[in-house]
Structure formats: structure tokens, C-alpha cells
Amino acid sequence: MSTPNNKPWTGRFTAPTDAFVEAFTASVGFDYRLAHHDIMGSIAHARMLTRAGVLTTAEFAAIEGGLTEIQAEIERGEFPWETRLEDVHMNIEARLTERIGVAGKKLHTGRSRNDQVATDVRLWLRDEIDAITHELTRLQVALLAVAEREADTIMPGFTHLQVAQPVTFGHHLLAWFEMLQRDRGRLSDCRSRLNVLPLGAAALAGTSYPIDRAYVAELLGFASVAENSLDAVSDRDFAIEFTACAALLMTHLSRFSEELVLWSSPAFDFVDLTDAFCTGSSIMPQKKNPDVPELVRGKTGRVNGHLVALLTLMKAQPLAYNKDNQEDKEPLFDTVDTVRGSLRVYADMVAVLRVKSDHLREAARQGFATATDLADYLVRRGIPFRDAHEAVGRAVRLGVETRRDLAELSLTELQTFSPVIGEDVYAVLTLEGSVAARDHFGGTAPRQVRAAIARARARLGNP
Ligand code: ARG
């Protein structure tokens, strides 16, 4: 009996697949992206089967040669991807058989697409995490360079987006560095948890061939072998975990974006995002819009969405593999592209960020940013903190009413709020005095910022 419509699995079928179902169930339109790692996995599998005596050396040579040629064909963009063949795995296997004949039909011995796809995605994601980490490093290095340049630059620090206390711009940038450093740690944890070989689990129960899984793990650089075959083919925790890391990373970039959007607006005018990272308006000639930060802030939404999609994809799946899992690819691919692209553009943009230090200083000077320093001064002269707070509050009220900052009030005026105030008060009311006084580990004093930058470079392994 002839089999309908020429697929690798049609033996038990009597009727061809409905044309729309064929297109609906196919994944090759997106999973072709796994081709390189699929081929790596196949060569390792075939090498192991040869060592185990399941394939002959000649068969292995034909398989390896054929797959290498297919890899080149894919790179040249000449590979004839066919929807009829469903996914990347069956496309490559069918092409191999077309090229090398019967040896190609032996490649799938002792393996299933279930453990194959789980292996491919892990191999692929491992490389992508390395590439993402590289972009992350570039961004962190750029941040440290600007932080070093602006270690003495004074800006208003905010809480509730109201001027709170003066901080140094370098210190503010180091806060961003810390967020990214935690993202780096999370990505590295995720990488080590996914670096486990599923291959050998076959469809779900393992295989009766004398396979050597440790050898395959070694060939593919996996740190260990999955313990349980059912778990190996059905686990997508690594994809969810990665997407969670990515969502948090994007959340950081999004907060970062929010600040850059505010700071580059004429109302703040703290920084200039160079022209290469902005666009104009088709109607308003004066506009220079911070498109890059805005887009990154916007793209955070899709990554958060992918996290929810993947969690929802898994939540009701019984063991072991289910076709549902084919739906993990597009969210994962898009997450990788979004994070990688966002980090790349941010690294380039931060490297050329122009900081308007005079405007930053002026903004810090205007918002009574040294009010806490005045209260601390009174405390040092024996006034209880609550009373000091009250006295300074009244001084600020006079400043608001007469449109002057604390440093612009005369000594006689200041003394009406507390008789202990002396001429030396003006030293604490200066911005430089305020930041220099916060001179402890993790503080904003320029000296501390420089020390923190040196530690940050060491933590990055001095790239
Ligand atoms: N394209 C499938 C996926 O992405 C490959 C595994 C298919 N396995 C199966 N038994 N139909 O998950």
C-alpha cells in the first residue's frame, strides 16, 4: 500500500493531511532558526551511535558530510524549506536522505523529535544568553565610563519625582549598573540550569539502543545529563526562567528609558541623546524625539506578555511531551531578539550620552535639596531632630514665599528659625558640601563613586 502525501510518518495513515491542517501544524516557518543547533545535535548523536556500534564509520562519515553540506546550503539561503515536512528537524533529515541515501534514514535511530527539539532549544538559548551577556557588558562598561566622567557632577536626587537631596550623576548611573549586574547574575544562573542534556530521553521513555548520554553531553558541552526521561522531553522551565530574567532586565531598561525621556525633555534638559538616537516630527519642526528609549520602554510590554504566554502554555500540560510545546518558540525567539536589540542600542546610546552638568547643578540648587543638611547641622548643635526638622521647614517656607534657596537667605534671617545657626552654616548649604558629606560605602560622595567604579570594573573582570 502506498503512503499518502510523502511524509516521514505516513505509514499508519490512509488519507492525506488536510491542506490547511498541514500549514496550521507546521513550525518550520519559525523553527528553521534552530537549524544550526539541530545539525550540531545530530552530528553528536550520530557520532555516539557510531561509537556504540549502531552506525558504521562509513555511515557516520556520510551523515556528517551531508549535514555539513546542508549547513552550508542553509547559510547560502538555498535550502528548500518545505511546509509539508512540518518542522526544521524533518526538513533537515529528509534533505540528508535525499543527498546521502539510506544512511540518512538511520540518523533518527534511538532518538525522537521530542528529545531532539528539547536539545536544540537549549543549545540555541545557551548561545543567545552568551550573546546577550556580551551586550549587557558593553552597556555596563559604557555606564562606568560616563559615571567616571561625571563623578563630581551634582544633580537633584528625587523621591516622588520631587527634589530630595543632591546626588552625583555618577552615583545615579551606578544605580543602573547595579540593576544590570543582578540581571547578569540571573542570566548566568539560568544558563547553568539549562545546560543539561535531554537527548537520550527519546520520545519519553528512553531507548533500547546502547546509547552513551554522557558522551553526547561532553560533545555538546552540556555540564550534565537530564536525570529523568519524562522530565527531559517535557520541561520548558528553562524557557520560562529565561523569559522571566528577560522581563526583569527589560523592566530595568524601561525605568532607565523613563528617566532618559524625562531628562531629555526641555522641561528638565539634563541630557542630550545625540541625533543618531532620536527622530524628528513630520509636523512640528522643533521636535527631537527620544524614540529609542520610548521604544525600549514599549517593547518591555511584549516581553512581559511572552512570560505570561509561556507560563500559561505549561500550566495544564500532563507529562510528557505535548504538541503545545511547539508554541514555546515564537515567544522565546521574540524575547531574545527584543532583549538583545534593546541592550545593543542602549550600549551604543549611553556611550555617546551628553550630560548637561550646568543644568543638573542648577536644578539641584533650586529645590531646597540641602534642607536635610541644614537639619543635620542643627542636630550637631544639640537640637533634637524633630525640632530641627520643624525649624528647617519654616525656613523653606520663607524661601518658597520669597523665591530664594536656603543658601540665599541671610544669616539674620536664618537665625530667626534657630539661634544656634552661625556663619559656618553656608558650608553645609552648598551642594558640594552636601554630597561630600555622604562619604561611606554606597554613598554619593565623589570619592565613594570613584571607589565604586573601581570595584564595578573588578566585578566585571576588568573588561
Ligand atoms: N516541532 C515540534 C516542536 O516544536 C517538534 C517536536 C514534535 N514532536 C512530536 N511528537 N510531534 O515541539
Please indicate whether residue 70, judged by its CB atom, sits closer than 6 Å to ligand 1: no
Nearest CA to ligand 1 atom 12: 326
Please indicate whether residue 448, judged by its CB atom, sits closer than 6 Å to ligand 1: no
Please indicate whether residue 76, judged by its CB atom, sits closer than 6 Å to ligand 1: no
How many Å lie between the centroid of ligand 1 and the Cα of residue 275?
Answer: 46
Ligand 1: nearest atom to the Cα of 325: 12
Please indicate whether residue 117, judged by its CB atom, sits closer than 6 Å to ligand 1: yes
SS3 329: helix
**Model pTM score:** 0.94
Q: Any long-range contacts for 409-418 (C-beta under 8 Å, 24+ apart)?
A: 417/391, 417/392, 418/378, 418/383, 418/388, 418/391
Q: What is the mean pLDDT of each run of 10 residues along the chain (463 residues)?
A: 64 87 96 98 98 98 98 98 97 98 98 98 98 98 98 96 95 98 98 98 98 98 98 98 98 98 96 85 80 97 98 97 97 98 98 96 89 95 96 95 92 96 92 93 97 98 85
Domains annotated for the chain, with CATH where assigned, are 19-109 (1.10.275.10), 114-154+170-211+230-360 (1.20.200.10), 363-459 (1.10.40.30)
CA angle 223, 303, 350 (to 5 degrees): 90
Number of helical (H) and strand (E) elements in the chain, helices listed first: 19, 6
How many Å lie between the centroid of ligand 1 and the Cα of residue 71?
Answer: 21
Which of 276, 116, 132 has the alpha carbon at shortest distance from 202?
116
How many Å lie between the centroid of ligand 1 and the Cα of residue 86?
Answer: 9
What's the pLDDT at 90? 98
Query: Taking a C-beta distance cutoff of 8 angstroms, is the pair 215, 264 a contact?
Result: no
Ligand 1: nearest atom to the Cα of 86: 1
Residue type at 353 in one-letter notation: L
Ligand 1: nearest atom to the Cα of 329: 4
Please indicate whether residue 27, judged by its CB atom, sits closer than 6 Å to ligand 1: yes
Query: Taking a C-beta distance cutoff of 8 angstroms, is the pair 211, 52 a contact?
Result: yes
How many Å lie between the centroid of ligand 1 and the Cα of residue 305?
Answer: 23
Phi, psi (rounded to 5 degrees) for 71: -55, -45
What's the pLDDT at 5? 61
SS3 346: helix
Nearest CA to ligand 1 atom 11: 323
Please indicate whether residue 196, judged by its CB atom, sits closer than 6 Å to ligand 1: no
Please indicate whether residue 87, judged by its CB atom, sits closer than 6 Å to ligand 1: yes
How many Å lie between the centroid of ligand 1 and the Cα of residue 326?
Answer: 6
What's the pLDDT at 333? 98
Q: Can you list the alpha helix ranges (DSSP code H) found in 150-236?
A: 169-194, 213-220, 229-234
Please indicate whether residue 325, judged by its CB atom, sits closer than 6 Å to ligand 1: yes
How many Å lie between the centroid of ligand 1 and the Cα of residue 163?
Answer: 56
Catalytic residue list: 160, 281
DSSP readout, 195-211?
-EE-TT-TTTT--SS--
Nearest CA to ligand 1 atom 2: 326
What's the pLDDT at 4? 57
Please indicate whether residue 91, judged by its CB atom, sits closer than 6 Å to ligand 1: no
